[in-house]
Amino acid sequence: MFRYLILLSIFSLFLFGDRLSENIEKAQKIVFISFGNIGTEKSYIEVPFMDCSKECDEVDRVKIPLEASYLSKIATDIEKEVLAGKFDFIYTKGDKLIFQNIEERFFSPPFVGDGLDFYNYNELVNNYINSSDYQSAIRNILLKSLPMRLTIKSNRPLSKSLQERLLAKSYLIYLYIDTLDGEVRAIQSRKDGGFSLKIDIDLILKMAIFKYIPEKGILAPYGIFDGASLNIETTENLKALYALNYFDSQYQEIPKSSEVRRAFFTKLRESFKEALSEIVDKIVDIDDFKIHSPVLRFIGKNRVLYQQIGDDEFLRVNAPVYFQYLNQSGELVDFGWGRVEEPKMKFDKNSSITYTKVKLIGGKYPYRKVVYTSLADWSGYLFGIAGGVGSYGITHNEKKVASISSYPISLNLALDLGYLTNWTPLTNLLVNLSLFTESNSISLVGSNHIAQLGLNSLYGFDADIEYRYYLRGSLYVSGIGGIVGRYGEYDIVYFNQVEDNPPVFGDGTLYITSYQLKAGGKLGLALSPNLELFGEFGYSLPIYEDSSIKKGSVKVDTSYFQEDKFGYEGIMELKMGLLLHYDLFQEDIYQILDQARDIL
């Protein structure tokens, strides 16, 4: 009996130890190692200097130095801002590799690679980073920093094979600048006679990535990402004022070359960050760089999962995540998606939340499987279109004079307040904004001195707050309340009739402005984070109205026809529509539709 207990314990240790290793490996962040040196095609850029006080004539050529040491310092600082947090980040300073308070020195000769074309620079970097001394420093810093970098801690020492697999999630990057043409203009102000600078220079930023292969001890080329325009454009005043040459000047005289260079480098840091962020946005969509976090617990009744990742991966309230499970072949298989209800706040010392709480919305949870989550691209903005039918009336002197069957159509924008504010109490709240117009058919009710009434145009806006509650899976109901503004323009034929005399007709244009309070409900189906279908019922009551008639070609006495007391009755509408995430068209639409179909 005792022997069987020992065997069972060994088997359990093997089973759960293996699962822990899988979780540690899948959840571990990618580490990026910054090479520290930035390559440039030229050691300077030369552009024409235009005097635009009259005809924009070229008066000089300005040389702007692209010093690798200065650019490398800017690059390292901005790499920390853009990459650190989402990924682990090791940077180079002089002859040291640094991760937080851990340093590793290497003794390779100083790297010099200024003024080389990209092909030759890339070959030079490849040879340098694969020298034995540099490789030794890379391995040492990765191993020394590994206990601090583990997303999931282990009470037992990591096996050598697991360490090697974790080290394989390491990449080295370097940046390179291709130069393009540009120009500098000195624009003279008509306001005070002075000058301002307009610098317009395009530099193309590239990022080369090398993947660390620990078993071979090499950094192998992984990919090159480029196309991000590092645009250096500076004007200190509004462009509209520049078009008129009417602005407050920066300089009393035409600026000197030194002032051009100073303005260039002032703008460089901001433009560099924008360009690098654009490249990082591209690489985070690659499977190798997506963050996977194991699900630690699942409560089936509430369809709630608990996981390890949190705000240090830029996870926000209401952020959508995709779910995968690990099949027998060790591959991740998609099975659904959800939204973050309470993110773990790693840097909030007062927070009691230790795990991220996620609501499973689409898909069925696969029990007895190792489940992971990965972050979805999300902005918090949804665009859409809706159409439907409505019914309401027009009143004159508080008496109904026309019944209207309407066919509204609207363009919609939904703002996810929970995500945009990153505040848990707003998890289920959205702000909906829409612009609408409608066609309709009008039936007159009674005489009331109106002979004809027809719609010329109608448009308006709708702003409301929506509280959303998911019933089961991707089906949700919402309560909505807000304000509606409506502006209608109608062709009207009216008449006066005194006693038994024949009626006298006049024509004109009727204008009605109305502001209304709205309440209603919505039933929706979220097919994926990027696609929703919904039906909406709403009823609105006027709170303020104004009207007037502009008389037409036939003018008659209107003493019997009070023209300034038109308005609307309560308006009832039923609409159907769809909402799309604004990044939808940057992705493969068929892939998104396939996701929705699989979830259904």
CATH 2.40.30 location in the chain: 290-375
Residue for token pair 């509430």: 302
Please give the CATH number for the structural domain made up of 290-375: 2.40.30
Distances (CA, A) of 450 to 433, 501, 545: 35, 17, 20
Rounded Cα distance between 340 and 338, Å, is 7
Strand 450-472 and strand 304-307: pairing? unpaired
Residue 392: pLDDT band with limits 50, 70, 90: very high
Q: C-alpha 199: how far from its chain's center?
A: 29
Rounded Cα distance between 283 and 278, Å, is 9
Q: What pLDDT sits at residue 153? A: 66
CATH label, 381-599, candidates 2.40.160.20, 3.40.190.10, 3.50.50.60, 2.60.120.10? 2.40.160.20
What rounded mean pLDDT belongs to the chain? 78
Among 174-183, 435-444, 524-533, the range scoring the smallest mean pLDDT is: 174-183
Rounded Cα distance between 508 and 492, Å, is 6
CATH 2.40.160.20 location in the chain: 381-599
Q: What pLDDT sits at residue 367? A: 75
> DSSP letter string over 516-541?
EEEEEEEEEEEEETTEEEEEEEEEEE
Q: Which residue has the higher pLDDT, 235 or 514?
A: 514
Q: What is the mean pLDDT of residues 64-86?
A: 80
Q: What is the mean pLDDT of residues 592-599?
A: 47
106 Cβ contact partners less than 8 Å away, ≥ 6 residues apart = 95, 96, 97, 133, 134, 136, 137
Rounded Cα distance between 174 and 113, Å, is 12
Report whether pLDDT(6) > 70: no
Q: What is the mean pLDDT of residues 173-197?
A: 72
Per residue in 257-308, pLDDT (tens digit) is 777 777 788 778 888 888 888 888 778 777 787 766 666 677 766 677 766 5
Q: What pLDDT sits at residue 586? A: 45
Instruction: Extract the tokens encoding 108.
Output: 């390779």
Q: From the CB of residue 555, how many other CB atoms can be counted at a distance below 10 Å?
A: 10
